[in-house]
Amino acid sequence: MSRWRCWGALAVALAAGPVLGGCSSVKGGPERLYAVAEETTLIRDQLRRIDLAEFSALAEAGRMRYRNDWIAARMYAIDIQYTSYEAALTQERQNVGFGAAATTLGLTAASGLVAPVATKDLLTALAGFVTGARAAYDDNILLAHSMQWVQSQMRTQRTLVAERIFRGLKRSTADYSLAQALSDLEDYYRAGTFTGGLIATSETLGAEAKNAAEVRFGANASTEALQDCLRKPGARNALLNLMSPRSSLALGRLTVDTSAEAEAARTELLNKARAAGVC
């Protein structure tokens, strides 16, 4: 095999990553009529500074229009900046992950096509380097927290704050003051930041953890007595009425939990149920 062919194979392999990494599917989206910077400038030029004296002097209809126009324009400015930011986050993840995978595949394929041992070793070493670089990146904190999940939390939070703002904009300035609207606008901006997404993620995971209970299975005479009782028509509601607080999850737990605490609660419940003629 000629030297040129060897270098050709290497060039093809190295080119595969960047070429595939530049596919349309991994770009942020179609071209804009105005670039983000141009559009931001247009909005800024159109937007007057808030003049509280002028705002206060207006009649209620004028104040609402002033507030709503100002908030809507700022929201739009935040939206176009956010789109750009979100696309950059997505591209960052895709370029490294997909680009490295494509380059590795290209190098592996090329090493099978060339004969000289030295070239194969070089290609294999390069493939190992690229794979190692990706592994190092994957260990990065951004990916450890799953960027996709964080981005989805950012979108959710932005939608929630936007809904709050839109509801507010329908109200009078006495009910939804300009200051409140500006504070919500700041929340809207923060919801679209990576920090906002991380906070929302940890809150969501915390809430999910709070809503899950875990127990090791156990069975004895009293769990079977409770299960037998539950099979009777109307027993479930009657048993729930005897519980404080009323909780079907707690009732379900009593059918499988043989810890001392659960045993005591189950015995008390069964005694009450027997006295009431339920079981």
Q: Which of 255, 265, 267, 272 binds other proteins (CB under 8 A)?
A: 255
The nearer residue to other proteins, 107 or 229, going by C-beta atoms, is 229
User: Which H helix or E strand runs over 96?
Assistant: helix 60-113
Q: Which of 26, 58, 256, 265 binds other proteins (CB under 8 A)?
A: 256
Q: Which of 141, 231, 244, 277 binds other proteins (CB under 8 A)?
A: 231
The nearer residue to other proteins, 3 or 216, going by C-beta atoms, is 216
Spatial contact of 259 and 217, defined as CB atoms under 8 Å apart:
no
Q: Which of 249, 264, 275, 276 binds other proteins (CB under 8 A)?
A: 249
Q: How far apart are CA 267 and CA 259, in angstroms?
A: 12
Q: Which of 199, 230, 238, 265 binds other proteins (CB under 8 A)?
A: 230
Spatial contact of 184 and 168, defined as CB atoms under 8 Å apart:
yes
Question: Segment near other proteins (CB under 8 A), from 17-25, 72-80, 118-126, 248-256?
Answer: 248-256
Q: How many CB atoms lie within 10 A of CB 249?
A: 10
Question: Segment near other proteins (CB under 8 A), from 34-42, 76-84, 144-152, 253-261?
Answer: 253-261
Selection from 5, 33, 251 nearest residue 116 by Cα: 5
Smallest gap from Cβ 261 to other proteins, in A, equals: 15
CB within 8 Å of 154: residues ≥ 6 apart: 86, 191, 192, 193, 194, 196, 197, 200
Cα 277 to its chain centre, rounded Å, is 50
The nearer residue to other proteins, 145 or 253, going by C-beta atoms, is 253
Spatial contact of 47 and 74, defined as CB atoms under 8 Å apart:
yes
User: Which H helix or E strand runs over 184?
Assistant: helix 178-191
Smallest gap from Cβ 254 to other proteins, in A, equals: 8
The nearer residue to other proteins, 75 or 279, going by C-beta atoms, is 279
Spatial contact of 17 and 99, defined as CB atoms under 8 Å apart:
yes
The nearer residue to other proteins, 72 or 215, going by C-beta atoms, is 215
Q: How far apart are CA 63 and CA 72, in angstroms?
A: 14
Residues 184-223 that bind other proteins (CB under 8 A): 211-217, 219, 223
The nearer residue to other proteins, 181 or 270, going by C-beta atoms, is 270
What's the token pair of residue 150?
A: 């964080």
Q: How far apart are CA 54 and CA 277, in angstroms?
A: 74
Smallest gap from Cβ 256 to other proteins, in A, equals: 5
Cis peptide before 245 (omega within 30 of 0): yes
What's the token pair of residue 13?
A: 């392999």
Smallest gap from Cβ 218 to other proteins, in A, equals: 9
Q: Which of 180, 253, 258, 272 binds other proteins (CB under 8 A)?
A: 253
Applying CB under 8 A, the residues found at the interface with other proteins are 211-217, 219, 223, 226-227, 230-231, 236, 240, 246-249, 251-256
